A and B are shown apart, each in its own frame.
Chain A
């Protein structure tokens, strides 16, 4: 078992085996696709935003344990937060992956378990996939809002 326990923590395996918020929302405010050109993983994220708060989120796709678990943990973490808070969480997670800051459980929830992925450069993209999809979607949504669309 030596070596990989950081990467494959129980909490990660649990989210991988029983992903939360799996699926596709019917009338999403935001729908985004993201794929990892390196490994071909694909992810579809939908979310509902009411009064600038994320009220519902769902993800579906094809990916490794790290990308699947990360999407599940992210979904858990963001529900109930405002779009600005979510953007801050995304930025925090990104910096954790690049080992710029230590992970803050208040911000990340279960996703704090992904901190060990930072030691596996090739897998960082897997962990970031859903978060980057979410960021893309939120930014597009905010631009659209400003333009009154």
Chain B
């Protein structure tokens, strides 16, 4: 049953061979797309075809084959830039979102932060939005402060404004959609306020770019990081989008081949954007795969994806409410949250929940979701998390609810 007019998961599922693995009885109910999404045949084929038809190193050979490889690689960049409405010269391929954030922390942070400067992150940040800044703070003498969250799992905007006004905040690094709470943060508003006080803004779009329209041109942020494997693409490729005028003023992150225009014994000159930040042979097939994933998402339409997931979350809230004592963390209003649903049961540890629902072939995540500061704020050591995507529908939620009942009766609680 389709939840919205534009997306029918039963049809889309046909594009995802893993969801119909031979021998899976009952079939796989994959509800862990916040950890990584499944990949459509179009992406897998494109990567295969790249190796079968055009494999050569990029930006190097003068022969035809190498030009074809370069063309496919750069076309992938165009597809990704188009998806998030970003300038192509500001669209940099990295290994993943983590490396994208590290790039900014090292290439901008280490060179621009001074003792006493403040880096603002949030209590709901993924570790990849915290640890790079802690490392850079240690090197530069800057300080990391954590914007607190309300009991509903939303950021306290007043705290953010107050801190921007009273402290020398140079960087605000904020997650767009929390992987652990589902909260959609008002990043455009935060960027507007941060810019009033001359702070730069990095948005971690790992959980937003795959799931809703995100236009870099309208976000107002200086940097946007996201990761290929959560948006139908392969692992090993991520993206940093940056405002070209800021990237221009930054020194490189990693040094090596590809990223130079000249290397002499007395020093080197950097390549132009975006290649200045892409040292060494890039993950070419992965970029090609990500480009096709971006096109696939554009074809479906991210507005449609968002509408579908909102309906799915709404349905899940209703269905999960039937389970005694089940608590859902984060905003309770489906308009204010993305796809991930973190929950707990009073009588079952999240580990046991995830292990037991797997008996019914339901895949959900249990743990701290790489957000330990958040877990401490919530006062829990772990939660269970179900996160849907375009290939999930109400029947998957029903399967989860059924599996949760079965888990309870199995444990005899």
Give which listed residue, A1, A7, A17, A64, contacts B349 with CB less than 8 A: A64
| With known contacts A4-B355, A123-B355, A65–B381 Cβ distance under 8 A | no
Whether B368 lies near A4 (C-beta < 8 A) is no
Is B351 in contact with A64, judged by CB distance below 8 angstroms? yes
Is B382 in the interface zone, CB < 8 Å from A?
yes
Q: How large is the interface on B (under 10, 10 to 19, 20 to 34, 35 or more residues)?
A: 20 to 34
Q: Which residue of B lies closest to A120 (CB)?
A: B355
Are A1 and B359 closer than 8 Å at their CB atoms? yes
Q: CB of B356 within 8 A of chain A?
A: yes
A66 within 8 A of B: yes
Query: Interface of B with A (CB < 8 Å)?
Result: 349-352, 355-356, 358-359, 366-368, 372, 375, 380-382, 410-413
How far is the CB of A36 from the nearest CB of chain B, in Å? 9
Cβ-defined contact, A62 with B381, below 8 A: yes
Within the assembled complex, what's the spacing in Å between the Cα atoms of A40 and B351?
A: 11
Q: How far is the CA of A41 from the CA of B352 in the complex (A)?
A: 12
Asked if A40 and B366 sit within 8 Å, CB to CB, the answer is no
Partner of A39, one of B356, B366, B413: B366
Contacts of B413 in A (CB 8 A): 17
Q: Which residue of A lies closest to B406 (CB)?
A: A1
Chain B residue contacts of A16, Cβ below 8 A: 411
B355 touches A39 (CB 8 A): no
Chain B residue contacts of A17, Cβ below 8 A: 412-413
Query: How many A-B residue contacts, CB cutoff 8 Å?
Result: 52
Chain A residues with Cβ under 8 A from B368's Cβ? 39-40
A interface residues, how many (CB within 8 angstroms): 22
Contact of B382 among A13, A39, A65, A120 (CB under 8 A): A39
Chain B nearest CB from A5 CB (Å) reads: 10
Q: Which residues of A contact B (CB under 8 A)?
A: 1-4, 7-8, 13, 16-17, 38-42, 62-66, 120, 123, 126
* Pair B367/A2 contact, Cβ less than 8 Å: no
Q: What 10 pairs across the A-B complex have the smallest Cβ distances?
A: A40-B381, A64-B351, A64-B349, A40-B368, A40-B382, A65-B352, A64-B352, A39-B367, A39-B382, A4-B359
B-side contacts of A120, CB under 8 Å: 355
Asked if A66 meets B412 with Cβ closer than 8 Å, knowing A1-B359, A4-B359, A39-B381, the reply is: no
Given A39-B368, A39-B382, A40-B382, answer yes or no on A2-B359 (Cβ-Cβ < 8 Å): yes
Assess A41 versus B381: contact at CB under 8 Å? Given A4-B355, A63-B349: yes
Contact of B352 with A1 in the complex, beta carbons under 8 Å: no
Name the B residues within 8 Å of A39 (CB-CB): 350-351, 366-368, 381-382
Which residues of the partner chain B approach A64 to less than 8 Å between Cβ atoms?
Answer: 349-352
Q: Which residues of A contact B381 (CB under 8 A)?
A: 39-42, 62
Among the listed B351, B367, B410, B411, which residue makes an inter-chain contact with A123, where contact means beta carbons less than 8 Å apart?
B351
In whole angstroms, how far apart are the Cα atoms of A106 and B237 in the complex?
52
Kindly report which residue of chain A lies nearest to residue B375, judged by CB atoms: A40
State A2–B24 Cα separation when bound (angstroms): 13
Task: Find chain A residues with CB under 8 A from B380 CB.
Answer: 40
Which residue of chain B has its CB nearest to the CB of A4?
Answer: B359
Alpha-carbon distance A63/B351, docked complex (angstroms) = 9
- List 19 contacting pairs A-B, 8 Å CB cutoff, sorted by A: A3-B359, A4-B356, A7-B355, A16-B411, A39-B351, A39-B368, A39-B381, A39-B382, A40-B367, A40-B375, A40-B380, A41-B351, A41-B381, A62-B381, A63-B349, A64-B349, A65-B352, A120-B355, A123-B355
A39 to B413, CA, bound (A): 22
By a CB distance below 8 angstroms, the chain B residues around A62 are 381
Whole-angstrom distance between the Cβ of B367 and the nearest chain A Cβ: 5
**A4-B355, A65-B349, A120-B355 given. 20 additional CB < 8 A pairs?**
A1-B410, A4-B358, A4-B359, A13-B412, A17-B413, A39-B351, A39-B367, A40-B367, A40-B372, A40-B375, A41-B381, A42-B381, A62-B381, A64-B349, A64-B352, A65-B352, A66-B352, A123-B351, A123-B355, A126-B351
